[in-house]
Amino acid sequence: MKITDVKAHIVRQPEISLIGDGTQDSVIIRIDTDEGIYGLAEVDSAPYLVKQAIDMPDSHSAQRGMRNVLLGMDPLATEVIWDKLYESTYYYARGGAGMHAISGIDMALWDIRGKALGVPVYQLMGGAYQKRIPAYISILMPSTEDEVKQLVDYHMTSGYSGIKFGWGNLGDDMAHDLKLVRAARKALGADKLLMIDIAMNWREYKTALDACHAYEQEGVYWVEEPFRVEQPEMFARLRGETSLNITAGEELSALGEFESYLEKGCLDILQPDLSRCGGLTIGKKILDAAKRYQVPIIPHNFKSGLLMSATLQYIATLPDARYLEYCGQETVLSRSLITEPVTVKDGWVEIPDRPGLGIELNMDTVNRYRVQ
């Protein structure tokens, strides 16, 4: 089997709001083969940059267009292809949108492998420890306490294990943030998880520590990405001075950055995003590293059902899987990009057992919102 084509399609809502909502647009990667089997994946990144990395002409041996690298290769050789892509794009893809493009390509290749062999991807990765997983709902933090209560009341009827509020204006005003957190806890009650994603917006260590101590009193389960990822020493220090779980991972790329964070004792929970970390090939290696340091993994997943399907395959292989992050942003792309949306029943999500990633695109949605 050989790769015959690689395409990156951008889908986008007509209007985009400058908020932390990655479901307003997306880039879909499709890899075709000479045997008619194709693989699909979605990348949570800057769509136009990902597409450029795939479509660009070659410049020199370490700055090639990814499509050119892939043509004619055996799609089942996922490890060989990953190494070849990394070497051929070293000048621009060690992180950022270049690494995100590699991640999407890798997931699409695993989709092909599963389809070719007639098994779900989790079987190719060593088998499933679980066939379903409890979900928590993940949404953007609104600006008022009333809105917080409304969102909790609306979403928690589905039986989620908890709720994560993130982005919005969190980190700008500690006193106001605490009011919102207290409103969330009051609306949730004492028996549901409450997570807060600061989105790297704390700049001063004392602000972070004071906020965490206040959040401890509200039973917050974790604080996510309190600082920018270039400050691992602040993550480690904060982890040592609060009882809250400190989490991060969606902004880390490739294996080395994850190993560095684990070695430095930065995190209580690791959150790799398969569409950013290097795909399933690197995700498996991250799992091996996390096992050595006894750090659990709860993957980041804030996109449509296309990325969620890959995340579910990965979650099946985690021996200590805890929760699925279920994106609560109700955009047309988040809910209708695939033909069989991922659904929550009584707080749980079933892991697909269809070949590959177990998904097909809803071409009506793709054709309506495709811009490139």
For residue 74, the model assigns a pLDDT of 98
245-248 and 222-224 as β-strands: parallel, antiparallel, unpaired?
parallel
Q: To which CATH superfamily is domain 3-120 assigned?
A: Enolase-like, N-terminal domain (3.30.390.10)
Report the mean per-residue pLDDT for the chain: 96
For residue 280, the model assigns a pLDDT of 98
**31-74 pLDDT, tens digit each:** 999 999 999 999 999 999 999 999 999 999 999 999 999 999 99
For residue 261, the model assigns a pLDDT of 98
**276-317 pLDDT, tens digit each:** 999 999 999 999 999 999 999 999 999 999 999 999 999 999
H or E segment and range at residue 171:
none
Side chain identity at 42, as an amino acid letter?
Answer: E
As assigned by CATH, the class of the 124-361 domain is alpha beta
In this predicted structure, the answer to whether residue 19 has a pLDDT above a threshold of 90 is no
For residue 21, the model assigns a pLDDT of 84
Q: Using 50, 70 and 90 to split pLDDT, how confident is the model at 16?
A: confident
For residue 4, the model assigns a pLDDT of 98
Residue 158, SS3 per DSSP: helix
Q: Look up residue 112 and give its two tokens.
A: 């092909």
In this predicted structure, the answer to whether residue 20 has a pLDDT above a threshold of 90 is no
In this predicted structure, the answer to whether residue 269 has a pLDDT above a threshold of 90 is yes
Q: What percent of the chain has pLDDT over 90?
A: 93
In this predicted structure, the answer to whether residue 372 has a pLDDT above a threshold of 90 is no
**177-231 pLDDT, tens digit each:** 999 999 999 999 999 999 999 999 999 999 999 999 999 999 999 999 999 999 9
In this predicted structure, the answer to whether residue 254 has a pLDDT above a threshold of 90 is no
| Residues contacting residue 256 through CB under 8 Å, at least 6 positions apart | none
Domain coordinates in residue numbering, the chain: 3-120, 124-361
Using only C-alpha atoms, the chain has a radius of gyration, in whole angstroms, of: 20
In this predicted structure, the answer to whether residue 18 has a pLDDT above a threshold of 90 is no
Full DSSP string of 214-281: HHHTTT--EEE--S-TT-HHHHHHHHHH-SSEEEE-TT--HHHHHHHHHHTT--SEE---TTTTTHHH
**75-102 pLDDT, tens digit each:** 999 999 999 999 999 999 999 999 999 9
Mean pLDDT along residues 340-358 = 96
Sign of CA dihedral 286, 1, 309, 169: positive
pTM exceeding the 0.75 threshold for the entire prediction: yes
63-68 own/partner pairs: CB under 8 Å, 24+ apart: 63/89, 63/90, 63/91, 63/92, 64/88, 64/89, 66/6, 66/101, 66/102, 66/105, 67/5, 67/6
* Nearest in space to 27 (alpha carbons), one of 353, 285, 293, 333: 333
Which segments within 74-192 are labelled E, that is strand? 132-140, 162-166
